[in-house]
């Protein structure tokens, strides 16, 4: 079999891998993108993907700078201006309701972020990739072997084809086979929670607001979609999740309406339900000579604050900056000298976010009275301390701190 060459090989054309391919191709690198399964690029207009992502301002900037944002807007994106987070029935008399309300106007922004179907994000990025001549997409493609070194790593595909390169990026998701082939282990634990996801219609309309109720079994999030639709992520015990997925649609709608405390009137299930077991996972290393991990291949976090893909997009934006600087200085892209800068920039931040979500999950998923009182007091304090509230929301939106170039506004 002949051997071909490409500056950078990216394994995985999900949201993170496809965004990275567009970013690096725009910088003049030749890219080979290997994807196992061809994504859906067309679908009936009134159908909804049950997988959606709450996209931060930083991620929106990345999509905008990659020219993919208008393609997403054309397909369907839903901005939201408000967010209501609450816990009820504390059983302790408090002078305030344990609830936090955020609104975009408080921080002078037009919205707090956007809810976008995953297939819309991936579809727009794939369309954009197809306009870039220096990206070769091989799909379906599976990798059977890796040969790692700093100067000239290579991958071997199942059909025997070999591709040599200067850097291999694993963007192949939580079960990354490249991570396994490279001998990188992961740490983490299961949450003993499963997220049930689906689309529902709400009697009260979407009100341009995200809603999240914390319950001892896990959080219920309602994310606004067009008009009166919401995408829901209901994290609960695996047993209850199984029941929720299997019960008749009317019984599910009624259970969901009760769980939401009827804040949006009656909720009605539309279409299918899906279930995703939740875990925290972190790769022990993000790099090896000639290899870097990005996105879920490097870290998986609880979806309660909708940060997973937003962190993955910051990984790819940071890696892009570092590779461009390395090329400009004549440094090898796959050397540990270059790649350590990427690991240093992202690993600490991702672990901090994972830790914060883990703490949130533990503090909110139990009914011990003193802990419950403490968190209700915490919510009340945050609600009545505008500077703290604004800091929380600016961090969640990705408009605070040092950002890689692609995540900054260039409009």
Ligand X SMILES: Cc1cc2nc3c(=O)[nH]c(=O)nc-3n(C[C@H](O)[C@H](O)[C@H](O)COP(=O)(O)OP(=O)(O)OC[C@H]3O[C@@H](n4cnc5c(N)ncnc54)[C@H](O)[C@@H]3O)c2cc1C
Pick one of 134, 142, 152, 254: the residue that binds ligand X (CB under 6 A). Answer: 142
With binding defined as CB under 6 A, does residue 13 bind ligand X? Answer: yes
Question: Binding mask 30-59 vs ligand X (x if CB under 6 A, - otherwise)?
Answer: ----xxxx---------------xx-----
Q: How far is the CB of 18 from ligand X (least distance, A)?
A: 8
Cα separation, 308 vs 282, in Å, equals 12
Pick one of 233, 291, 399, 407: the residue that binds ligand X (CB under 6 A). Answer: 233
Cα 33–36–41 angle (5° rounding)?
80
Site for ligand X in 164-203 (CB under 6 A): 171-173, 177, 195, 197
Residues pairing with 31 in the sheet: 8, 135
Taken in order 394, 400, 403, 405, is the CA torsion positive or negative?
A: positive
Question: Binding mask 271-310 vs ligand X (x if CB under 6 A, - otherwise)?
Answer: -----x------------------xx------x--xxxxx
Q: How far is the CB of 171 from ligand X (least distance, A)?
A: 5
Cα separation, 80 vs 52, in Å, equals 14
What's the longest Cα–Cα distance across the chain? Answer: 74
Binding piece for ligand X, criterion CB under 6 A, among 13-21, 99-107, 123-131, 253-261: 13-21
User: Rounded to 5 degrees, what are φ and ψ at 266?
Assistant: -70, 140
Q: Which is nearer to ligand X, 38 or 337 (CB)?
A: 38
User: Rounded to 5 degrees, what are φ and ψ at 322?
Assistant: -70, -40
Tokens 């067309």 -> residue: 42
Cα separation, 267 vs 383, in Å, equals 28
Tokens 């816990």 -> residue: 87
Distances (CA, A) of 148 to 179, 181, 278, 400: 12, 10, 32, 37
How many CB atoms sit inside 10 A of residue 2's CB?
A: 5
Cα 219–295–245 angle (5° rounding)?
35
Binding piece for ligand X, criterion CB under 6 A, among 9-17, 127-135, 160-168, 384-392: 9-17
* # residues contacting ligand X (CB under 6 A): 32
Pick one of 15, 148, 169, 314: the residue that binds ligand X (CB under 6 A). Answer: 15
With binding defined as CB under 6 A, does residue 17 bind ligand X? Answer: yes
Q: How far is the CB of 238 from ligand X (least distance, A)?
A: 14
Q: Which is nearer to ligand X, 7 or 172 (CB)?
A: 172
Cα separation, 11 vs 175, in Å, equals 12
Pick one of 9, 11, 21, 135: the residue that binds ligand X (CB under 6 A). Answer: 11
Q: Which is nearer to ligand X, 4 or 90 (CB)?
A: 4
Q: Which is nearer to ligand X, 181 or 332 (CB)?
A: 181
Tokens 């009134």 -> residue: 46
With binding defined as CB under 6 A, does residue 335 bind ligand X? Answer: no
Q: Which residues bind ligand X (CB under 6 A)?
A: 11-17, 34-37, 53-54, 142-143, 171-173, 177, 195, 197, 233, 276, 295-296, 303, 306-310, 312
């Amino acid at each position: 079999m002949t051997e071909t060459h490409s500056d950078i090989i990216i394994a995985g054309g999900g949201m993170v891998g496809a965004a990275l391919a567009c970013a690096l191709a725009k910088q003049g690198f030749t890219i080979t993108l290997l994807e196992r399964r061809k994504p859906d690029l067309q679908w009936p207009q009134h159908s909804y993907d049950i997988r959606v992502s709450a996209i931060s301002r930083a991620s929106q900037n990345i999509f905008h700078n990659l020219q993919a944002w208008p393609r997403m807007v054309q397909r369907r994106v839903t901005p939201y201006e408000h967010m209501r987070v609450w816990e009820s029935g504390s059983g302790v008399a408090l002078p305030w309701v344990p609830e936090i309300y955020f609104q975009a106007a408080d921080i002078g922004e037009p919205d707090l972020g956007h809810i976008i179907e995953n297939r819309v994000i991936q579809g727009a990025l794939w369309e954009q990739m197809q306009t870039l001549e220096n990206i070769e997409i091989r799909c379906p493609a599976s990798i059977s072997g890796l040969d790692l070194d700093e100067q000239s790593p290579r991958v071997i595909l199942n059909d025997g084809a070999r591709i040599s390169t200067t850097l291999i990026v694993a963007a192949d998701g939580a079960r990354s086979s490249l991570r396994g082939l490279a001998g990188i282990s992961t740490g983490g634990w299961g949450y003993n929670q499963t997220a049930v996801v689906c689309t529902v219609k709400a009697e009260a309309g979407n009100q341009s607001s995200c809603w999240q109720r914390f319950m001892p079994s896990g959080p219920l999030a309602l994310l606004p979609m067009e008009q009166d639709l919401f995408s829901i992520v209901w994290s609960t015990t695996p047993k209850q999740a199984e029941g929720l997925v299997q019960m008749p649609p009317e019984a599910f709608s009624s259970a969901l309406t009760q769980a939401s405390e009827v804040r949006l009137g009656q909720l009605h299930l539309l279409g299918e339900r899906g279930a995703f077991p939740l875990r925290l996972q972190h790769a022990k290393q993000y790099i090896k000579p000639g290899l870097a991990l990005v996105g879920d291949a490097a870290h998986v976090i609880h979806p309660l604050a909708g940060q997973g893909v937003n962190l993955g997009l910051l990984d790819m934006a940071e890696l892009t900056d570092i590779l461009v600087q390395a090329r400009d200085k004549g440094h090898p892209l796959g050397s540990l000298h270059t790649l350590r800068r990427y690991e240093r920039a992202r690993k600490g931040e991702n672990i901090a976010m994972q830790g914060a979500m883990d703490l949130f999950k533990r503090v909110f998923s139990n009914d011990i009275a003193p802990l419950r009182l403490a968190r209700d007091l915490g919510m009340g304090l945050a609600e009545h301390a505008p500077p703290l509230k604004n800091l929380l929301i600016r961090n969640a939106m990705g408009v605070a701190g040092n950002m890689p170039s692609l995540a900054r506004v260039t409009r």
